[in-house]
A and B are shown apart, each in its own frame.
Chain A
Amino acid sequence: MQFINELFGNVLNFTWQEAVMIAIGVILVTLAIKREMEPTLLLPMGFGAILVNLPFVNTEAIETLFNAGIASELFPLLLFIGIGAMIDFGPLLSNPKMLLFGAAAQFGIFFTLAVAMLFGFGLIDAAAISIIGAADGPTSIYVANYFGSQYQGAIMVAAYSYMALVPIVQPPVIRAITTHKERLIRMPYSPHSVSKTTKIVFPIFVTIVAGTIAPKSAELIGFLMFGNLIRECGVLDSLSQSAQKELANLITLVLGISVAFKMQADLFVTVETLVIIALGLVAFVFDTVGGVLFAKLLNLFCKNKVNPMIGAAGISAFPMASRVVHKMGREEDPGNFLLMHAAGANVGGQIASVIAGGLIITLVENLL
């Protein structure tokens, strides 16, 4: 009997909060496998959530990974090299006007900051929460960690979950603020050829401009653009391939499970987590609203009308946002091909979200 007690006694040490976290972990793993929702991150995060919530479990290794990779901001930055090497700025450079939609679709970040403060969050936590609206995992991790927010776990889960839920969140918002006639607007695609020189100079220039105007974004944008420069320079193909595959895969592998360190029951099973998840939805909705309304505003002044749905593709979630817009366009008019325009706006959103992260840090730090 004593042997059985020694062997299974720990079962009685489960708290209900730990049980809830294990259930959340199982849900995340299930969503990753069954629905293929951001599986590269939701699966490690889900499994990590199960692991760190076992009673009396030793989390030293995960804590070490967290401190080495996330608290030091290393993992998100290294991941950005891989992401930069994967991005083709061609559609954006072919029609650089699409960058503007990337800027407009960051509205949700700043709106959510205001709403979070309205509901009682302090400035630092509100800023960390608002960055869910960047729709960009590494930027969310970087900014939440920079501010040392106690809600990092909830912020990261919300950021990645909503990125996966873009096809569910965006369409009703887009339909609510556009008319059928607006959604039918066709945009002829006449791409201009983009020279290799342009593709090489572009990441260097973006780093200089963004790093000068928003110095806090210099590291984030710099690593992203460094990855892209490796891709476009034409003389580092092997490094580019490594960055896109091995580096990105390795970092992704440990990033999710490291984040799980902040998913321990006492930190996560709180009312605040539910509020943060609701605020994440607010951020994504108002990102979409910002992008779409900006496109409608442009249409008041431009001769060549823009399909306002393109504005919704200005969020950073790539390629989900552009696919959503393209699909909605085809549903309204099967002959309407918006994909390349949407991809341009979407890539613009990737740049803009990083800059927005740097601006949030700069503006909030100035007030502290």
Chain B
Amino acid sequence: MFSFSWNPEMFAVSLPIMAKGMVGIFAVICAIWGFAALLNRVTGRHGADK
């Protein structure tokens, strides 16, 4: 049950989640970005199916 309180120690606990979350999301998105760019380059050369 929630009760109002000021928990700086819990804030500190959440910082690694924040860091891992942002690193994780950028890792996935960068992988997708790289693949999309690669796909564009590869399929761009074969203009037949544009």
Cβ contact of A110, chosen from B8, B22, B46, cutoff 8 A: B22
Cβ contact of B29, chosen from A103, A126, A193, A364, cutoff 8 A: A103
Cβ contact of A120, chosen from B5, B21, B29, B47, cutoff 8 A: B5
The distance in angstroms between the C-alpha atoms of A271 and B36, with both chains bound, is 46
CB-based contact B44/A363 at 8 Å: no
Chain B 1-43 interface residues, beta-carbon cutoff 8 Å to A: 2-8, 10-11, 13-15, 17-18, 20-22, 24-33, 35-37, 39-40, 43
Q: Which of A16-24, A196-204, A261-269 contacts B (4 or more CB under 8 A)?
A: A196-204
Neighbouring A residues of B20 by C-beta, 8 Å: 359, 363
The distance in angstroms between the C-alpha atoms of A364 and B14, with both chains bound, is 10
Closest to B13 in A: A117
**A196-B49, A352-B25 known; A114 vs B14 contact (CB < 8 Å):** yes
Neighbouring A residues of B25 by C-beta, 8 Å: 103, 106, 352, 355-356, 359
Q: Tell me how far the C-beta of A118 lies from the nearest C-beta in chain B, rounded to whole angstroms.
A: 4
The CB with the most chain A CB atoms within 10 A, among B18, B37, B44, is that of B18
Closest to B17 in A: A363
Closest to A102 in B: B29
Cβ contact of B43, chosen from A92, A109, A117, A195, cutoff 8 A: A195
Neighbouring A residues of B49 by C-beta, 8 Å: 195-197
The distance in angstroms between the C-alpha atoms of A153 and B39, with both chains bound, is 42
For chain A, what secondary structure do more than half of its interface residues adopt (helix, strand, loop), or is it mixed? helix
The distance in angstroms between the C-alpha atoms of A206 and B30, with both chains bound, is 11
Closest to A93 in B: B36
Asked if A97 is an interface residue, CB under 8 A from chain B, the answer is: yes
Contact size range, A? 35 or more
Asked if A99 is an interface residue, CB under 8 A from chain B, the answer is: yes
Q: Tell me how far the C-beta of A181 lies from the nearest C-beta in chain B, rounded to whole angstroms.
A: 28
Neighbouring A residues of B35 by C-beta, 8 Å: 202, 205, 209
The CB with the most chain B CB atoms within 10 A, among A118, A125, A194, A356, is that of A118
The distance in angstroms between the C-alpha atoms of A210 and B35, with both chains bound, is 13
**A103-B26, A214-B24 known; A351 vs B32 contact (CB < 8 Å):** yes
The distance in angstroms between the C-alpha atoms of A163 and B32, with both chains bound, is 26
CB-based contact A194/B40 at 8 Å: yes
Render A241-278 as a binary contact track against B, CB cut-off 8 A, 1 for contact: 00000000000000000000000000000011001000
Chain A 272-286 interface residues, beta-carbon cutoff 8 Å to B: 272, 275
Neighbouring B residues of A348 by C-beta, 8 Å: 29
The CB with the most chain A CB atoms within 10 A, among B13, B14, B18, is that of B14
**A206-B32, A355-B28 known; A120 vs B22 contact (CB < 8 Å):** no
CB-based contact B21/A363 at 8 Å: yes
The distance in angstroms between the C-alpha atoms of A97 and B33, with both chains bound, is 6
Q: Tell me how far the C-beta of B48 lies from the nearest C-beta in chain A, rounded to whole angstroms.
A: 9
CB-based contact A192/B40 at 8 Å: yes
Q: Tell me how far the C-beta of B40 lies from the nearest C-beta in chain A, rounded to whole angstroms.
A: 6
CB-based contact A359/B24 at 8 Å: yes
Neighbouring B residues of A110 by C-beta, 8 Å: 17-18, 21-22
Asked if A367 is an interface residue, CB under 8 A from chain B, the answer is: yes
Q: Tell me how far the C-beta of B26 lies from the nearest C-beta in chain A, rounded to whole angstroms.
A: 5
CB-based contact B39/A209 at 8 Å: no
Cβ contact of A202, chosen from B3, B26, B36, cutoff 8 A: B36
CB-based contact B40/A96 at 8 Å: yes
Asked if A360 is an interface residue, CB under 8 A from chain B, the answer is: yes
Chain A 320-340 interface residues, beta-carbon cutoff 8 Å to B: none
Asked if A301 is an interface residue, CB under 8 A from chain B, the answer is: no
Q: Can you list 26 A-B contacts with CB-CB less than 8 angstroms, sorted by A residue number?
A: A96-B37, A96-B40, A100-B29, A100-B33, A103-B25, A110-B17, A110-B22, A117-B13, A118-B6, A119-B4, A120-B6, A122-B2, A192-B44, A193-B50, A194-B50, A197-B39, A198-B40, A205-B39, A209-B32, A209-B35, A348-B29, A351-B32, A355-B28, A356-B25, A363-B20, A367-B17
